[in-house]
Each structure stands twice: as structure tokens, then as C-alpha cells.
Structure 1
């Protein structure tokens, strides 16, 4: 008796791929360690669990390799990037906080966890997302005192720059902060910045919550991480308003090590926000 369907099945049958290969176990371990270290820069208490290791053993290794979809890299989510840009611009000019046009950019706090049951229906989606936001909210130590604007560090900046504008050379400059002082000067502000700090790497190229630097920009345990002279420049008052309005910005091109510090190349670029 002829069974043509069986012949078709056999003709297209091939041996399944092995569950995982022991020949690339060392590479997988290396990629796993890199991934764990990267995630710890965002969540310092993170450690790989059994289910993570199982997934790493089973996934196609090219996904873990540099450039792969699971390889450690800075997030490129355009929505999150826009949120981070808006948060930065909100703080860049203190008057924005009382400007009605900036009201939609003011951050929302979640003081209580929204109710959320386990039923899967459309009515619970919003509650689920808000509960998720609450559970993963960046939480700074609530016992920390507000961090005052550091006058001593501003004095160091003036001494370094000769108390003249670094662009025009004019005297009596104002102090421009690359990272505004209000981003991390209070527990609330630090929480709001911490929620977006990972995405901030898409703008700055730096992981802002990393705990492996002596003085992290955004820390759960300390405020004012950027209240330092390295974060400041002496600027002509005529340039200060355009800088704090986003009409121009300094673009970092590179650093050169000196015997007594670092020489940083940061030309002034007009119309720079969103195009750097």
C-alpha cells in the first residue's frame, strides 16, 4: 500500500539542532558575564538567575554576540529618548517649572501602588502598566537631605576658566551647568532622573546610573553627583540664555590627558538639540 504523504514527510525531515553546544560554552559564559555587568549598571542588585542562564544556553549564540539583539548596548528607543530629552530641557531653565507651556513635562509621582488583579482584560491594562511603573520606580534613600547648589565647586570652575567666558573671553561670566543642578539635588528630582537615566546614555553616551564610578551621576544613596566643577563652564551672559533654551549646545568631540587633568574638546554648536 502506497503512503505518499509519508514519503513527503521523510523527504523534508532533517535532524534537529542540538539543544546547545558545549563547544561554545565559554563564549556563552563570557557574553552572560558581560550582560550581567551591564544590567548591574542600571540595577545594582541584579544577578543572573537560573532561568536567565537557561535562556542564554538555548538562544542562538549570534544573538548574544556583539551587535546581536541581546548583546549589551545602549537602548535606542526613540520614545524613551524623547522623554529623557524633555526631562533634561525642563531642568535646563528653572523658569520652565512655572511656565504653563511646560506643564505636560512635569513628572508624575506614584505614592501608592495602583490596584491590579491578574485578570487579562482591556480594563486592567492601564492599571497593570501603572503597577509595573510603581514596582520598578527609581527610589532614592528618603533620609537624604536636599543637596544645595555647590558654591565652592562654582568657585573652582571660575578659577579654572580664569573667570572669563570660555567662548568669547569676556569677563563677569555666568556659570553654565551641563547637567542642571536640579536633576539630582532632592530625593524627588533624583527619583525622576533615575527613572530615565539609563536612556540618558542615548544622549550623553554615558551610563548615568553606573555604580562603578567613584561619584555616579544618579545614585540611590547620594545626591548631587554632578555638582562638580567638571560639570560647569564660565559663559558670557549673552550665550547663557541660548544655551538654557536649547538654541545651542556644546558637542563633545574628545579628551586629551594632561599631567594635571584632562583637556576636553567641546565646540559650541547652534541648533544642536536633537541634532547632535
Structure 2
């Protein structure tokens, strides 16, 4: 199975940064091995990166995705971007349901599912994020929370080709803390068991949350982990490629 290594740049990067990172990716692309690479930069940088990747001759090696999308194809939604717009500017994927959207913008499972379904309708692969908070973890509610988010957030009609699950424990995002390999294996088994109840395909499950070059090998070697959703470490091509190099193919 080819692993997916996805980078979420969040609200970081200007045009010069995008050009610099594409040059660095092109110089070191051989280090990525056979891993599938995806970068989700801010929407302002997607056309710039698409053009730079094409000029660098690595557009076929690095896919582009959005960080969020609206449920509608178009309309009076100031400041939003639709899945169809992302598709139009060269995206193949979109992240929905990231904890920062759930928490900062109050997005619930119903809205996230609607966004994921819009992504599928537009021909994008929906990367649906789920994860428990520190309080929920301490209350031993991890499995309950993840089951609820899965059932509520995943789009109908999800298949291995059009949907990916990303498990990101909220308490590990950007904190430098990561669960143990045993914890990750246990949670991914639970997610897969729940997903198998209502989806015929064996969906890919990524791990996210403080993935770095020094822990990527251990995390990506865990049974049931099909890749990584990388945050801060994806902002530097060297670190992103090092994580990709750690992926088993």
C-alpha cells in the first residue's frame, strides 16, 4: 500500500515561501521514495504552487489540496471557497473537520459531513479529521468521541478512492506530545472497526499530531497507519521529505 503524506500549512506562507519550498522539494524529491505526497497550503498559494510545481517538473509527484471548503458550489458566502473552486485551480484533495475548524469556528459533525459530501460531488478526495481533546482522553472517552465523529462526519458514498480518515488527537496537535505506538495502534484499530460497519472499502487512515522527522519512522510503522497528516513540519521541505522517506511502501 502506498502511504499518503499530507502537509497542512495552515495559515502560513507567502508567495516567496511557496516558491522556495517548491525549489527545495524539487531538489530532494528522490528522498520521498514511493510515498504519495500532498500539500495543502493557504488558498492564496494554491495557483502559485501549482505553477511552480509544473515548472519544476514535479507536478506529477506532489498533489495540492485545500484546507477547507463550503458546502455550496457558489453563492453569497463572503470569504468562503467552494470545493468546485478548489478543483478548478488544481486541487485533488481537501481537508474538512480539522479540530481548529471544529473549535475555532464551531463546526459540528453535520456541517463537516456536508462539506465532505460537497468535496466528493466536486471530484475531490475528502480528508475527514477526527480526534479527542485532552479532557476527553482523561475521561477515557476517546473511543466514544471518535465513533460519534466518524458516524456523524463521514460522507455517504465514501470509498477508498474518494475519502481518507485522519486521526489527530487534539492534545497532540502542535504541542510536541504524541501518543505511544501502542496507543496509536489501538485507536486506529478502533477507527477501522467502526468504519467497516458502514463503509464497504478499507479506508485509509492517517495519523496526525506533532509528526516530525524524528518520530515519523515509529509512527508510520504502526500497524493500521496508512500515512500522516503533518502540520508544522510540512512547512520545511527538508522535514517533509524526511517524513515521507520514513514511510513504508
TM, length-normalised to structure 1: 0.23
Q: Which of the pair has the greater relative contact order for Cα pairs under 8 Å at 6+ separation? A: 2
TM, length-normalised to structure 2: 0.25
Q: Pick the structure with more strand per residue.
A: 2
